[in-house]
Amino acid sequence: MTADVVVRGGTVVEAGWSGPADVVISDGRVTALAAPGTAPAADTVIDATGRLVMPGGVDPHCHVGFTSGEFTSLDDYRQCTTAAVFGGTTTIVDFAIPRPGENPADVAYAQRAKATQGLCDSALHACVVEWDDTVPDQLAALVNDGISTVKMFTTYRGETMADEDTVLRTMTELARLGGMVVIHCEADHIVGDAQRRCAATDHIGAANMAATRPDLAETASVAEILAIAEAVDAPVYFVHQSTAEAVELVAAARRRGVRAYSETVAHHLVLDDSAYNGAHPERYVCCPPLRSSTQVKALGRHLFTGEVTTIGSDHCCYDTAQKESRATDVRAMPNGLPGVETRLPVIFSEYVVGQGLPATRFVELTSTNPARTNGLYPRKGTLLPGADADIAIWNPTTEWQITSTDLHMATDYTPYEGMQITGRPETVLVRGRAVVDNNTLQDPTPQGRHLKAGPVV
């Protein structure tokens, strides 16, 4: 029997193990992991000698064409997934965030329809801002349609912030349905107070971003939301946790049986608040803000210990002009950093190469666990037989420098400009097709599908 594709001679890296194996692919799926040299003949043979063969990355936190306030981020599904694939990511999880007056299900279904423009597959988080009698039916329909995770916010008052009662009811209902709340935690009253103090002394520009959203705002909100989850026995996933204390609160809750999970994002693991002292502080404005270098080190240590569950990008593709247009007042700025393409190389270089994080743990944090927490495992996040043949073939030793002009995101800057990187995904397969080969776009055909989530964790 002939296979469609065999990836031969590489070291397969899975979440729990790694070793030499040939990956056999037919009809877009992995059909076997064969001992080296024992794979059947194939129409296409990809030589992976000296390379790491990993399941494609799953980015659990990626905003595509995201409108917040007066700003819309600049990419669409084709652009975002092109950048994703170049960076070794083969599944993105986007958000459908309602604007005032819109209902969660309508917004989610409209966003879901865009998935076919993608070069790779995608899934979606819905979002609930306000509880009303229609929400339970909307949640039931969404979960039935494979949209099982719902983003909520404890900040951005007057826009997407939900009150505690709405969080509690949404959590309770989703737990009953087999879904899960994914939540952005910053206590808005503490943020509001910090912003008022900064504004009173005319320190409210981008350079002051860190002071406007203190670490304590995150800690306080995480504690409150954990209490709600524990009270109603619901699972909860904390997005973009930026402090070690916040991660430790979640880990402690997990130890007493709460189904609570921590997501960190690449920029909080690599960049620190000294970026706000530089020439373009507005380019680093995100919520939560970049933290102190001490905090970054402490947060990074939790990658090694199992306390962090996933690493996302929190990709938001604003450009410099958008960022600069409101840089004198962070309260009016577009928040978020472009990062879907750089998430994996930056973490691989800084943590696997630089600090000895096992490559197996890298895969677990950036692919397998995000697939699990989004109900996509074992179709995504693994190369075990039966999985989609989404594969990133990495050269672990190649050295390169990040510069925005070489990237594919629909913006004019990267927060990692000039960073020296070791390791890069060279060839990336989406369901068995080489979309990127030798760092070149090989197959620009949109083939994205919206993925229906199964039960989450």
By CB under 5 A, what part of segment 320-339 binds Zn ion? 324
Residue 425: name its binding partner from ligand URP, Zn ion, none (Cβ under 5 to 8 Å by kind).
none
Only one of the segments 121-129, 198-206, 222-230, 310-318 lies at the binding site for Zn ion (rule: CB under 5 A); that segment is: 310-318
Minimum distance of ligand URP from residue 30's CB (angstroms): 33
Minimum distance of Zn ion from residue 260's CB (angstroms): 17
Residue closer to Zn ion, measured from CB, 39 or 206: 206
Residue 335: name its binding partner from Zn ion, ligand URP, none (Cβ under 5 to 8 Å by kind).
ligand URP
* Residue of 121, 314, 341, 350 that binds Zn ion (CB under 5 A): 314
Minimum distance of ligand URP from residue 336's CB (angstroms): 3
Residue 205: name its binding partner from Zn ion, ligand URP, none (Cβ under 5 to 8 Å by kind).
none
Minimum distance of Zn ion from residue 256's CB (angstroms): 26
Q: Is 280 in the site for Zn ion (CB under 5 A)?
A: yes
Q: How far apart are CA 260 and CA 236, in angstroms?
A: 5
Minimum distance of ligand URP from residue 285's CB (angstroms): 7
> Residues 6 or more apart from 252 whose CB is under 8 A from it?
none
Residue 286: name its binding partner from ligand URP, Zn ion, none (Cβ under 5 to 8 Å by kind).
ligand URP
CA proximity to 129, closest of 149, 108, 103, 111: 103
Q: Which residues of 55-89 are buried (b: 16+ CB within 10 A; e: fewer)?
A: bbbbbbbbbbbbebeebebbbebbbbbbbbbbbbb
Minimum distance of Zn ion from residue 373's CB (angstroms): 15
Which residues would be at the binding site for ligand URP (CB under 6 A)? 63, 184, 240, 286-287, 314, 316, 335-336
Q: Is 343 in the site for Zn ion (CB under 5 A)?
A: no
Residue 350: name its binding partner from Zn ion, ligand URP, none (Cβ under 5 to 8 Å by kind).
none
Q: Which residue has the tokens 């910053």?
A: 186
Minimum distance of ligand URP from residue 342's CB (angstroms): 16
Q: Is 184 in the site for Zn ion (CB under 5 A)?
A: yes
Neighbours of 97 (CB within 10 A): 23
Residue closer to Zn ion, measured from CB, 86 or 276: 276
Residue closer to ligand URP, measured from CB, 31 or 160: 160
Residue closer to ligand URP, measured from CB, 253 or 265: 265
Q: How far apart are CA 55 and CA 43, in angstroms?
A: 21
Residue closer to ligand URP, measured from CB, 320 or 442: 320
Structure tokens at 171: 């959590």
Q: Is 94 in the site for Zn ion (CB under 5 A)?
A: no
Residue closer to ligand URP, measured from CB, 44 or 292: 292
Structure tokens at 66: 């995201």
Minimum distance of ligand URP from residue 353's CB (angstroms): 27
Residue closer to ligand URP, measured from CB, 39 or 346: 346
Residue 280: name its binding partner from ligand URP, Zn ion, none (Cβ under 5 to 8 Å by kind).
Zn ion
State the first-to-last Cα distance of the chain, in angstroms, to the nearest integer. 37
In Å, how far from its chain's centre is CA 386? 24
Residue 241: name its binding partner from Zn ion, ligand URP, none (Cβ under 5 to 8 Å by kind).
none
Q: How far apart are CA 370 and CA 390, in angstroms?
A: 14
Residue closer to ligand URP, measured from CB, 14 or 282: 282
Only one of the segments 68-76, 263-271, 311-319, 387-395 lies at the binding site for Zn ion (rule: CB under 5 A); that segment is: 311-319
Residue closer to Zn ion, measured from CB, 274 or 438: 274
Residue closer to ligand URP, measured from CB, 84 or 352: 84
Q: How far apart are CA 341 and CA 48, in angstroms?
A: 22
Residue 125: name its binding partner from ligand URP, Zn ion, none (Cβ under 5 to 8 Å by kind).
none
Contact 225, 155 (CB under 8 A): no
Q: Which residue ranges make up the site for Zn ion (CB under 5 A)?
A: 184, 280, 314, 324
